[in-house]
Amino acid sequence: MSDGNVIPLDQVTLPFVDTNSIEYIRDPFTVMAQARASDPRKGRIIRTPYGIEIIDYDLSRQLLMNKGLSTPQANIYKERGAGPLLLKFMEEGKLTAQQGERHLLYRRVLSTQLTPQATREQTGLYFDVANRLVDKFIDKGRCEFIDDFSHPYPFEILCRALSIPPEDIPIFDSVTRALPLLNVVPLHPHVEEIEHALQVLSDYTSSLIDQPDGTHQGFIAEMVGHLRAGIMTRDEVVWSLITLLQASHYTTRTQLASIVRVLLETNTWPELVADKSLIPAAVEEGMRYYPVVLAVPRVVATPDFEIDGVAMPAGTFIRFNFHGGSRDDRRFDDPDRFDIHRNTSKRIPFGYGAHKCLGHTMARKDMEVAIEVMIERMKNPRIVAPIENIALGAGWGPGEVHIEFDR
């Protein structure tokens, strides 16, 4: 991965970026560009409060497939002072923390509702949910897009796809907002909130499993079948369901809001009105231009692992920084320009390799459907208030998006 001599990590000078700073959260792309320009090595890695971060898009794609890197395990969260439920979740439930055969089992079991075929079969559900949410504000001629649409939309879709009773959705909605906090450093201010959220979710999913035989439906029935057959333990079933709920909500709600934001900021909306076949490309470019995921973490699993000419000791915590990579001018021409006609091949908005996001097909489709419904029902939409970016755990995006439109 280098053309010259390999330098030990403790002897190399790298740009430092405070990714927790207000300046960074307000405009991470400018901060990343400045860090890249200031690096005398013209390298592809930086230091942050979290450790080492990769800011090169193609290098990130290459390393995400490298077996010399592993996903963070429960011991890292133990070192950060995690509570007992979070540690149990990391050990037994969170998909990205699983390895080997167990990881393959989890992906196989959880993917049944997330396949391309399942997504096609559920498309009518996406339109139904989207139109019903728009019905609530269409006559007002305005909305706060996140609260009124992008927050409830993906969560209701997943709950209904999993056969969770609609009347129970508020139980999940009240606590899933806390789960992105498990990626915050320092963790200690949020431990109690995270533990409470996991307890509520654990109690509820346990109650679903304990319903009398014959009353389970859809995906819940399938999971209970795995439990009865001894394929999965009770705890594995509970934590697997929580994994799906945790992974699906905050990222999709914020990414959808970010895509709508850039479509309006760049006046690309009329182009989609004229040609709806461009919607998938707009979603793909929106994920590049405003990526909701701050960074994807990994841990060096082998001694003196080399990245960009730097020897990384085993145990080094690294992250793939999407705000650096997505505007990498070595990968994208004129990266600060939003262009829905870019080549979308070899993109990695949902990660890459063995731990690629399991729900990427569903996430793409529900964002595409949401934009199609809004194009059909909202004329001349425009942003009417300044947008302030916020960060929550490993997520980043607009706090609010106020839109007005012609009725």
Closest CA to 156 of 116, 119, 129: 129
The answer to whether 321 and 32 have CB atoms below 8 angstroms apart is yes
| Parallel, antiparallel or unpaired: strands 7-8 and 310-312 | parallel
pLDDT at position 354, please? 53
pLDDT band with cut points at 50, 70 and 90 for residue 160: confident
- Which uninterrupted H or E stretch holds 155? helix 152-161
In a domain, 345, yes or no: yes
pLDDT band with cut points at 50, 70 and 90 for residue 54: very high
- Give the helix ranges, DSSP H, for 84-137: 84-92, 100-110, 116-135
Structurally, the chain folds into a number of domains equal to 1
In a domain, 212, yes or no: yes
Q: Is the pLDDT of residue 394 over 80?
A: no
Cα–Cα distance for residue pair 198/186, rounded to 1 Å? 19
Least confident range from 108-117, 276-285, 312-321, 343-352: namely 343-352
Beta strands in 162-309 (DSSP E): 295-300, 305-307
The answer to whether 293 and 258 have CB atoms below 8 angstroms apart is no
In a domain, 22, yes or no: yes
For every residue of 385-406, DSSP letters joined together read: S---EEEETTEEEES--EEEEE
pLDDT band with cut points at 50, 70 and 90 for residue 256: very high
| Domain, as residue range, for 53 | 7-406
Whichever domain contains 55, its CATH number is 1.10.630.10
pLDDT at position 95, please? 62
What does pTM read for this prediction? 0.89
The answer to whether 374 and 260 have CB atoms below 8 angstroms apart is yes
Q: Tell me the mean pLDDT in the region 30-41.
A: 90
Q: Tell me the mean pLDDT in the region 298-302.
A: 93
pLDDT at position 7, please? 92
Mean pLDDT comparison of 115-124, 146-155, 237-246, 388-397, highest-scoring range = 146-155
pLDDT band with cut points at 50, 70 and 90 for residue 63: very high
In a domain, 273, yes or no: yes
- Can you give the three-state secondary structure of 282-344, one letter per residue? HHHHHHHHCCCECEEEEEECCCCEEECCEEECCCCEEEEEHHHHCCCCCCCCCCCCCCCCCCC
pLDDT at position 96, please? 66
Q: Is the pLDDT of residue 259 over 90?
A: yes
In a domain, 396, yes or no: yes
- Rounded-to-5 percentages of helix, strand, coil across the chain: 55, 15, 30
Distance of CA 218 to the CA centre of its chain: 25
pLDDT band with cut points at 50, 70 and 90 for residue 371: very high
Amino acid identity of residue 288, one-letter, is R
pLDDT at position 247, please? 67
Q: What is the dihedral of CA 215, 221, 225, 227, to 10 degrees?
A: -90
The mean of the pLDDT values for the chain is 87
